[in-house]
Structure 1
Amino acid sequence: MISVVIPTLNSERTIRTAVKSAMEKAEEVIVVDSFSTDKTVEIAEKEGAKVLQVKGSMLIARIEGTKIAKGDYIVNLDSDMYFSDNFPPRELKSKVIALGEITVGKGIVYEIMKLDREITHNKWRENLSLGGGIIPRMYDRQILIKAYENIPSWIKDKLNAFEDSVIYYEVLKIYKGEVQFIPNAVYHIEDDPFLSFIRKWYRYGRNAKLLRGTEYEKIIYQRKMRPGLTAREKIKLIIPTLVKGIPFAIGYYL
């Protein structure tokens, strides 16, 4: 049985697509809402999701959703993602599974993220490491619960970005098996206005700053890597790296 957990906050623009897709692919869909002021909750309930309202961080939302989930596997989906026909896989070969992403949308943000993901996912074997560009989103529930228990409470309370990397970091302490990769498993909507995209990466920098002085600090440096890329591919990624990296650095260092 698969349970899908989707954190939300004022996500009315994309939540219908996310929930409708998940309802077709999984036995259970849980939307963990941080008291949205728009129609997010109304839409999610109408589409058949279980809705839990929790005050707290993105990481808290994922944890609370997992606590009430009944599935053997948990998929940590975002509210701007939806499943493709490649999900679920014919065979679950691992307790930790990465979902290959297809970028959809329009505009400059779409072009930036499409290029980044296409190059990185083409070298998925090298990028499944913690320092790579692909972070698993599907976990055996018992492993995930143990990983959540090992994250310090103050980080759980505050972290609204890079929570996926912290989760993976803790999972790798427990799980020593192979990570399965499902290519083109989910669509990721990227159509934010450019300034909103810049502000988002600034917020990512502010959140990454919370990890300074902790064992998770190395995640930030490792995620700058894109293992296995050729020199030509690295050159192609210069613009995406700068567009994301400059606002991130401002948030992280200032």
Structure 2
Amino acid sequence: MKISVIIPTLNSERTIKLAVSSSLKVADEVIVVDSFSTDRTVEIAEKEGARVLQVRGSRLIARIEGAKVARGDYVVNLDSDMYFSENFKGFEEKVIALGEITVGRGIVHKLMSVDREITHKKWAENLSVCNGGIIPRMYDRQLLLKAYEMIPLNLKDRLNAFEDSVIYYNVMKLYKEGKVQFIPNAVYHIEDDSLWQFMRKWYKYGKNAKLLRGTEYERFIYERKSRPGLTLGEKMKLLPITLIKGIPFALGYYL
């Protein structure tokens, strides 16, 4: 079984070295799909051994173009601020969710650590396609390519938020009775934005999510407001990060 890792980038020089180098330890190829970065992202990625494509368009387009040229039996949709752990192993299904370990510093790191710890503890409930808090990142390549064909062109060209949810939704329409595997602590996720940077990012997500209005994917916006399967106490622990994400997202989405 061969694995291809696809990493969309835009000015990701700070984290791309670790993302590529860790990927090459576990995968047969790494494809960096760059949106014409103005920093050293491409130089670093190529030096580390990645194949680099430069494509204009959305994060979703980057995912799609990477999958088209990939040679692996499986595709991992990694982000440029993520890298693999030694737990990335033991693949049994065609759709695989990778548990995340939060690393970094600052208040955002602390809040996201609590979020992922609680959510991943309740991983079975949180693999729900429409309202779960865990989105698979590893797919059988042929299944993934068929799912990409189902996404409307206007979303392919412009979607930079919820693209992973749209991918998962369409995959599961094809993989109706298939099992989703969960691998705990499979990847590290760097979270060291300042609080202001983090809230600005979620504001942009809200603005971009307007593209889902009037589509079958609009339900993600309304059904994913809280993690399923949690106790009241766990929901209270997640209230700060829910507000820090939710308020700027709502401002971007509704204004």
TM-score bracket, shorter-length normalisation: over 0.9
Paired with 1:149 and 1:64, the residues of 2 have a C-alpha distance of 12
Paired with 2:225 and 2:127, the residues of 1 have a C-alpha distance of 14
Residues 9-53 of structure 1: per-residue CA shift (max 9 Å, x gap): 000000000000001110010000000000000000000000000
Paired with 1:223 and 1:133, the residues of 2 have a C-alpha distance of 7
* Aligned residue in 2 for 1:50: 51
* Aligned residue in 1 for 2:237: 236
Q: So what's the TM-score if we normalise by structure 2?
A: 0.98
Paired with 2:27 and 2:252, the residues of 1 have a C-alpha distance of 37
* Aligned residue in 2 for 1:220: 221
Letter in 1 for 2:252: G
* Aligned residue in 1 for 2:143: 143
Residues 182-207 of structure 1: per-residue CA shift (max 9 Å, x gap): 00000000001211101100011011
* Aligned residue in 2 for 1:115: 114
Please state whether the residue corresponding to 1:86 is helix, strand or coil: coil
Letter in 2 for 1:247: P
Residues 130-182 of structure 1: per-residue CA shift (max 9 Å, x gap): 11100000000011000000000000000011100000010110002110000
* Aligned residue in 2 for 1:13: 14
Please state whether the residue corresponding to 1:64 is helix, strand or coil: helix
* Aligned residue in 2 for 1:101: 100
| CA deviation after TM superposition for structure 1 residue 232, in Å | 0.4
Please state whether the residue corresponding to 1:216 is helix, strand or coil: coil
Paired with 1:238 and 1:226, the residues of 2 have a C-alpha distance of 11
| CA deviation after TM superposition for structure 1 residue 208, in Å | 1.1
* Aligned residue in 1 for 2:153: 153
Give aligned-pair identity as a percent. 75
Please state whether the residue corresponding to 2:111 is helix, strand or coil: helix
Paired with 1:175 and 1:113, the residues of 2 have a C-alpha distance of 30
Written as runs of structure 1 = structure 2, the 5 A alignment for 1:1-254 is: 1-87=2-88, 89-90=89-90, 92-130=91-129, 131-176=131-176, 177-254=178-255
| CA deviation after TM superposition for structure 1 residue 93, in Å | 1.4
Paired with 1:238 and 1:64, the residues of 2 have a C-alpha distance of 37
Paired with 1:17 and 1:223, the residues of 2 have a C-alpha distance of 31
| CA deviation after TM superposition for structure 1 residue 225, in Å | 3.0
Which segments of 5 or more consecutive residues in structure 2 lack a partner in the other structure?
A: none
Which segments of 5 or more consecutive residues in structure 1 lack a partner in the other structure?
A: none
Please state whether the residue corresponding to 2:134 is helix, strand or coil: coil
Q: How many residues align?
A: 252
Residues 32-89 of structure 1: per-residue CA shift (max 9 Å, x gap): 00000000000000000000000000000000000000000000000000000001x2
Letter in 1 for 2:215: T
Paired with 1:54 and 1:48, the residues of 2 have a C-alpha distance of 19
Instruction: Tell me whether 169-178 or 68-77 shows the greater mean CA deviation.
Output: 169-178
Paired with 2:223 and 2:169, the residues of 1 have a C-alpha distance of 11
Taking only aligned residues, the RMSD between alpha carbons, in angstroms, comes to: 0.6
Q: So what's the TM-score if we normalise by structure 1?
A: 0.98
